[in-house]
Amino acid sequence: MSKAIIEIKQVWKEYGDHVVLEKLNLNVQAGEFISIVGASGCGKTSLLNMLLGTEKQSRGSILLDGKPMPQEPNATRGIVFQKYSAFPHLNALENVMLGGEFASSPLLGKVFGNERKKLREQALEMLTAVGLADAALRYPSELSGGMQQRLAIAQALIKEPRILLLDEPFGALDPGIRKDMHKLIRELWKKRGLTVFMITHDLSEGFSLGSRVWVLDKPRIDPHQPERFGAQVVYDIDINSEHKLSNSIQSLIEKQQAAKVAV
């Protein structure tokens, strides 16, 4: 087996007395697509933030290529949030270029001359890859929700990250647009050999996109002290090796879909 790109070893995350995550032990190979599902507040975003480097684990270690995870975001990891706020005074092309400018000139946030010309070309390529070539000169307020998420993906990918972190990236989009976005993200994942971590509340999205699904839940509950125990990865499901999803998982998905219809 090849060396893991990410190793999570005995990781705990606590906020004061509140234990959010406990005893996480997980290895991720380069090129995996991990869907992270679990109840609201179980610690999915906390886990993603630790992978991004904006949060530090309370205990244990997280390794990137065998070395401690850098404690700040850098170009190895790109992130896309559910709600994207692009700079409103910059057009799509300038917004994507800005991401690249900060990656190559973190202090100044600006590049000049030939480097700028090259960056402009790369940004245009990125916009083309996400299907926004025709909207390069439009401002964020002139883009639909789906287009704004495409822009967010282009901005994350301009830094050429090896790891892409997605925090409910399609949660606010209409079902038809979500489908298009699923196709896009699968293409980008495969073509660029990315390692992807995606939080979703939609189980069927998690199972259809991911090569592996982590289900976070609390195996232990103290009713008098709900914050005493944290969530763990209670199911770690390798989609490729499962010929068929187990009945229980399939029925979970069906239940969720039925609940959506009922709303």
**Residues of the shown chain interacting with ligand ATP in the complex, contacts defined by CB under 6 A:** 15, 20, 38, 40-46
Smallest gap from residue 23 Cβ to ligand ATP (A) = 16
Identify the sign of the CA torsion 76, 81, 84, 87. Answer: negative
State the minimum distance, in angstroms, from the CB of residue 100 to ligand ATP. Answer: 29
Task: For the CB of residue 198, give the shortest distance to ligand ATP in the complex, in Å.
Answer: 12
Shorter beta-carbon distance to ligand ATP: residue 35 or 46: 46
Least gap, CB of 131 to ligand ATP (angstroms): 28
Pairing of strands 59-64, 232-238: unpaired
In the complex with ligand ATP, the residue whose CB is nearer, 41 or 70, is: 41
- Taking the CA of residue 155 as centre, how many other CA atoms within 13 Å lie in the half-sphere pointing to its CB? 26
Q: Which is nearer to ligand ATP, 84 or 130 (CB)?
A: 84
Q: Which of 204, 209, 208 is nearest to 254 (CA)?
A: 204
Nearer to ligand ATP, 140 or 230 (CB): 230
**Which of 92, 105, 237 lies closest to 153 in space, CA to CA?**
92
What amino acid occupies position 235? Y
| Residue written as token pair 């998420």 | 149
Tokens representing 103 are 């990656």
